[in-house]
Amino acid sequence: MKKLTRDDWIEAGLKTLDLEGYTAISGERLARRLNVTRGSFYHHFRSREDFIRALLSTWEEDYTARMLEYAAQGQGPVDVLRRYMHIAADKQPTREVAIRAWALHDPLVAEYQARVDATRQAFAIKTSQRAFPLSKYSETVGEIAHLCFIGGQQSGVRHNAARFGNLLDNALDLFTTRPKFQR
């Protein structure tokens, strides 16, 4: 039998979050999922808070640092924004939805959520500034890209990845093509 690691517990926590939501996150429930005693949980984590911090740090690294690193590999700022927004279609949406719901009830989770949102939004705005030289517009486009990312996950549109991708592409096209308005 394989010896469990902290990473096994964190992975079980993330799967539980995906399938059952934040209310199912407890040492006892995770121990049952892993078919071990609850004592094993405390062998790896000093407390539930220690586990929550480890869980959220893993989510933050994967769903922010790695995600933005991938997006930044785009060919120019518009492609970077497209990649950023398309990531929402590739990531586990229930995880994001569950963490946002959890953040409404837990200050520690809210702290992580706020930091992730600030990092993501800053990335989108900085990228937009490279694409749109007028800061008034670049900040708006960056904020919209970030809100599209969140909104697609929260609304369920994300479950239809092709539709979500097309919706985001069309929205971004509105900002990159400059139609001439008649006065």
DSSP sequence for 102-151? HHTT-HHHHHHHHHHHHHHHHHHHHHHHHH-SSHHHHHHHHHHHHHHHHH
pLDDT digits (tens, 9 = 90+) for 67-92: 899 999 999 888 898 888 777 667 77
Q: How far is CA 175 from CA 6, 75, 77, 160, 165, in A?
A: 45, 17, 12, 23, 16
In percent, the amount of the chain with pLDDT more than 70 equals: 80
Domains of the chain listed by start with CATH number: 6-176 (1.10.357.10)
Reported as a pLDDT band with limits 50, 70 and 90, residue 182 is very low
Quick: pLDDT tens for 32-71: 999 998 888 999 999 999 999 999 999 999 989 998 999 9
Yes or no: say if 40 and 31 are a contact pair by the CB < 8 Å rule. Answer: yes
